[in-house]
Structure 1
Amino acid sequence: MSVTDFTFHGGTVLRPAGPDGDPLHVAGGLIADTANERSVDLTGWTLCPGIVDAHGDGFERHVAVRRGALTAMDHGLIATEAELAANGITTAYLAQFFSWEGGLRSPDFAARVIAAWKIAAPQVATDLRLQLRLETHMIDEYPQAEALIDDAGIDYVVFNDHLPHDRLAAGRTPPRLTGQALKAGRNPDAHLAYLRKLHNLRDDVPEALAALADRLIARGVRIGSHDDRTAQARQRARDIGASVAEFPETHDAAAAARRGGDGIVLGGPNVVRGASHAGNISARTLVAEGLCDALASDYHYPSPRHAALTLAREGICDLANAWRLVSDGPAKVLGLNDRGRLETGLRADLVILDPETGRVGATLAAGRITYLATPLAERFFA
């Protein structure tokens, strides 16, 4: 994949200080301070930092389109990269479950995705990274999860607990048990017994999870928690080193994250919809109150871009601040200090937008063209 040096001129450039009309230069995959011979006229277009997606599982539709239909998962991840690029995403964390839920969320499936990622990631220009979403009660499987983390060099692990504790504590059968059992390759009775076993480990989980977090942090892994519902839950997560709050479900949890200096990641689809599909607090409300650092794709790769444009259109914040939530904000939350802003010396991760429609005309990751479409494409070859 070759890097081409460009000078972009004539368009609006969304720099940290705000939009301006000055040219932007790219050389050697970085934003440069000197002009290049190859010049592209962006009159009528807006040049923004590339989108950093902190959490997305939209890749699942590419790697498991139908049971048994796609055995070469790396082909699916390469297709995923095309979708990411078409939506202006230049860095993407593929959020893979490590869960008792089975199917696409099983430990075995996680191992297969990692194997495919090792093949696909070096072939594409988009920076594809892995996040492991670990179910906290799977204490016996912690060594297996750690082996996968080490094998792939995973630098971001998120803890979540999806066990239906209320039903299990009441001796009731959880919803969708049969379907989950089939996905996990167990009969329903065996699956229910397994869930009860995990539920009964609840007194052992805090100590085991804290020890796991210590081991991961010592390796340089960033830790997050998912779906915190209360300030107390966020505090417990912070106490074991989870510095990122993904998708807090309530205002109290988000406010606690802000008070603690934690990074707050919300769902782009929530902003686009104007509400959570699960009935949780509206991300628009949290953004308006300054309780958001990053907007992620969650399950829909077009949503970060549309969310930023929606926030600007609705007057919740201006475009520069809205776009920070999908570029500089997530980069800082994830410790990626070499990207997210259009500044000299940083990675040339760029997305060029039609300001009227929000459509992506081109995407460049570290100076490499990953997406280019008509009518902008003609200008690159003029």
Structure 2
Amino acid sequence: MSETVYANARLVLPDEVRHGHLVVREGRIAEIGEGSAPRSAEDLAGDYVLPGFVELHTDAVEGHLYPRPRVIWNAFAAVTAYDAQIAASGITTVFDSLRVWPDKRAVGMDGDAPLLAATIRQVSEAGLLRAEHFVHLRCEVAADGVVEDAQALMESADVRLISLMDHTPGQRQFATEDDFRAYYMKKSGITAAEMDVIIEKRQEAHRLHARPNRARLVELARARGIVLASHDDATTEHIIEAVEDGIAIAEFPTTDIAADGSHAVGIRVLMGAPNVVRGGSHAGNVAAETLARRGVLDIMSSDYVPGSLLLAAFDLPRRVEGISLPQAVAMVSANPADAASLTDRGRLAPGLRADFLRVSDAGPAPVARAVWRAGERIA
């Protein structure tokens, strides 16, 4: 029987930080002990041991596939490099967020989900993935063809999460046309006249497709037992719609009203860890720290910086009175695992899968020194 003991560690347990040891046997946590280890052990020199992070929303893989504008990298190499970055960040379970936005007219809003999904599956079947990967489909409800594209991906990939998005000018994140115009013109460099055409076509697409596409995607998710998330909720009406659709996670609500309302009805509120680390939203929306102070922040996602989960988990207790390190760590481990119905991970507890990381806080920022998944070291 394979057994390894890790001793002299500060174990971040669900309710406390305890100096003790961890016993891993056959890929599972067998024991959690206090004080010195009872037998030969690997000395962790007083470092922290945290449960492996569960990442529900990151599109970082796209940055590896498209490292520069108009540059497409080798997909296999992109996925393996991305996976290595994920693992080194302490993430042992990741939901790869793939855009299903079939609209070539909207600059910067079309992903390459089929290629990425197929490549992730290829790398997985070759036994070359460090973290465990599931697929999160980010579905743009106003896009013609989004339902058919999403359904095809459900047939070929391990889809566990679907988020319902609407980036139409005048909706949600882009509350006004000017918000949309400023964001995408800066990002793409297109002219004002070209943007006028894009806005007109996207608003027409919204009128034609948003409502029926959303209903069909909800139906597909329910039939397959896939967890549903809303995205960029802003109003009370959005919360009512989310409840009717059986939404489990509210991703990046843009206002206090939406965050408070979602949390009040039992929808878990997910915000970006970069928002915490930077002290606010890069888009000018509600700050994650503000929500944490009010007790309505449930989950943190690395979004576009995989390493931000570790930084945010240690930053939040220092900045917000009443939030302990175990509570902050739960926002990047236990809470997302529960939201995704993954009951075998997310905590340091006997019987659960041995997903954990060793963290040093000796420097100005915490550093993941080693990472294990199912008892095997992956970084």
Q: Shorter chain as normaliser: what TM range?
A: 0.7 to 0.9
Cα shift at 1:67 = 5.3
Residue identity opposite 2:113 in structure 1: A
Report whether the alignment pairs 1:327 with 2:325.
no
2:207 is aligned, of 200, 205, 209, to 200
Report whether the alignment pairs 1:271 with 2:276.
yes
Cα shift at 1:152 = 0.6
1:91-136 CA-partner distances (Å, limit 9, x unpaired): 11121111226676425x1111111111123421311222111111
Q: How has the CA–CA distance of structure 1 residues 37 and 152 changed in structure 2, closer, same or farther, with 3 Å as cutoff?
A: farther
In structure 1, runs of 5+ residues without a counterpart are 372-382
Identify the residue that residue 84 of structure 1 maps to in structure 2.
86
Which one is further off, 124-133 or 263-272?
124-133
Identical amino acids, percent of aligned pairs: 29
Identify the residue that residue 147 of structure 2 maps to in structure 1.
142
Residues in 1 aligned to 2:197 and 2:205: alpha-carbon distance in whole angstroms: 12
Equivalent position SS for 2:378: strand
Cα shift at 1:15 = 1.4
1:304-324 CA-partner distances (Å, limit 9, x unpaired): 110111012224311111111
Q: How has the CA–CA distance of structure 1 residues 367 and 170 changed in structure 2, closer, same or farther, with 3 Å as cutoff?
A: closer
What TM-score do the two structures reach when normalised by structure 2?
A: 0.87
Equivalent position SS for 2:99: strand
Cα shift at 1:80 = 0.9
Residues in 2 aligned to 1:40 and 1:333: alpha-carbon distance in whole angstroms: 33
Equivalent position SS for 2:98: strand
In structure 2, runs of 5+ residues without a counterpart are none
Q: After TM superposition, list the pairs within 5 Å mapping 1:172-321 onto structure 2.
A: 174=181, 176=184, 191=198, 194-201=201-208, 205-316=210-321, 317-321=323-327
Report whether the alignment pairs 1:352 with 2:358.
yes
Residue identity opposite 1:321 in structure 2: Q
Paired residues in the alignment total: 362
Residues in 1 aligned to 2:274 and 2:109: alpha-carbon distance in whole angstroms: 21
Residue identity opposite 1:347 in structure 2: R
Identify the residue that residue 379 of structure 1 maps to in structure 2.
none
Which one is further off, 204-213 or 57-66?
204-213
1:226-263 CA-partner distances (Å, limit 9, x unpaired): 11011221221221122210011111101111121111
Which one is further off, 310-319 or 219-228?
310-319
Cα shift at 1:68 = 6.2
Residues in 2 aligned to 1:47 and 1:171: alpha-carbon distance in whole angstroms: 47
Equivalent position SS for 1:200: helix
Cα shift at 1:191 = 4.8
2:110 is aligned, of 91, 106, 109, to 106
Residues in 2 aligned to 1:275 and 1:169: alpha-carbon distance in whole angstroms: 21
Which one is further off, 151-160 or 63-72?
63-72
Residues in 1 aligned to 2:167 and 2:329: alpha-carbon distance in whole angstroms: 32
Residues in 2 aligned to 1:243 and 1:93: alpha-carbon distance in whole angstroms: 15
Residues in 2 aligned to 1:16 and 1:283: alpha-carbon distance in whole angstroms: 22
1:17 is aligned, of 15, 18, 27, to 15
Which one is further off, 209-218 or 273-282?
209-218
Residues in 2 aligned to 1:116 and 1:49: alpha-carbon distance in whole angstroms: 28
1:339 is aligned, of 335, 345, 350, to 345
Identify the residue that residue 376 of structure 2 maps to in structure 1.
368
Q: Is the 8 A contact 1:158 1:225 kept in 2?
A: yes
Identify the residue that residue 123 of structure 2 maps to in structure 1.
120
Equivalent position SS for 1:218: helix
Residues in 2 aligned to 1:136 and 1:269: alpha-carbon distance in whole angstroms: 26
Identify the residue that residue 66 of structure 1 maps to in structure 2.
68
Q: Is the 8 A contact 1:165 1:199 kept in 2?
A: no
What TM-score do the two structures reach when normalised by structure 1?
A: 0.86
Q: Is the 8 A contact 1:350 1:363 kept in 2?
A: yes
Residues in 2 aligned to 1:189 and 1:258: alpha-carbon distance in whole angstroms: 37
Q: Is the 8 A contact 1:125 1:366 kept in 2?
A: no
Cα shift at 1:205 = 2.9
Cα shift at 1:147 = 1.1
